Amino acid sequence: MSELVTLEEIEDHVMLMTLNRPDAANALSHDLLDAITDKVDEIQRSQDIRVVLITGSGNKAFCAGADLKERAGMSDEEVVSTVKKIGDTIRKIEELPMPTIAVMNGVAFGGGLELALACDLRMMSTSTKVGLTETSLAIIPGAGGTQRLSRLIGLGKAKAMIYSARPVEAEHAYNIGLVEYIYEPQFIHQEARDFACSIARNGPVALRQAKKAISQGYETDLVKGLEIEHECYKETIPTKDRMEGLTAFKEKRKPVYKGE
């Protein structure tokens, strides 16, 4: 039996996490959620990973959301518990210290889009659609969708998507700021790899501190945000990487950063 989630280093310091339930549109079953958690824990333990790409196996679905077949036999309490488990798993991805990129090679509905929203950046195939479709099932997004989507694209656009439950195509998703990049399906994985490499070349301590400053500062006022930025900046000063960057600039060569 193949792994439900695979994790491989595709370039130096660049990890690719792949949801591997193509026959079920990579839906978030209990077993898949457990496998994601195991891989996220593995990433957390590594000091060598600088960028994480997350995608779905096959070419039809990034992640179709909750496993509705599994859910059909659950009690009300079990459904609530399962949705919380999805939310907790997605939160673990959001809390990864290095940049994360959702590579939406196929549809991302419900919990699948909520997973992508927890990543730092989103890339989307021009041949697919994404949406928070829960109200069409008489429920609401319960794994962060009502909160992260509105913060990303604005209140009105988020309400329009959630109230209507209508999926949006790639160009519209790009125009409203739901995704940062759109690519033809045959190019999306290579473009994601190339972009991840451009990130991974930079100072790993700086990348982590930049993510911390942006994420924590965004949730507060400007004065507090500037304080957070200053504290994160100070963390980069005593590093060997900072001196390597200055030396490489002086010597007109590419720096070799080690995360030290």
**Residues identified as active-site:** 66, 111, 114, 134
- C-alpha 56, offset from chain centre: 12
Q: How far lies 62's CA from each of 49, 248, 254, in Å?
A: 22, 40, 35
Contact 104/123 with Cβ under 8 angstroms?
yes
CA distance 229 to 214: 8
CA distance 114 to 238: 37
| Close Cβ partners of 130 (under 8 Å, ≥ 6 residues apart) | 62, 104, 107, 108, 109, 112, 113, 116, 124, 167, 168, 173, 178, 179
Q: What is the largest CA-CA distance in the chain?
A: 66
Q: What share of the chain is helix, strand, coil (3-state, %, to 5)?
A: 50, 15, 30
Query: Residue 236, SS3?
Result: helix
Contact 205/238 with Cβ under 8 angstroms?
no
- Bridge-based pairing of strands 181-183 and 14-19 is unpaired
Residues in the chain: 260
Give the DSSP H/E element, type plus range, for residue 7.
strand 5-11
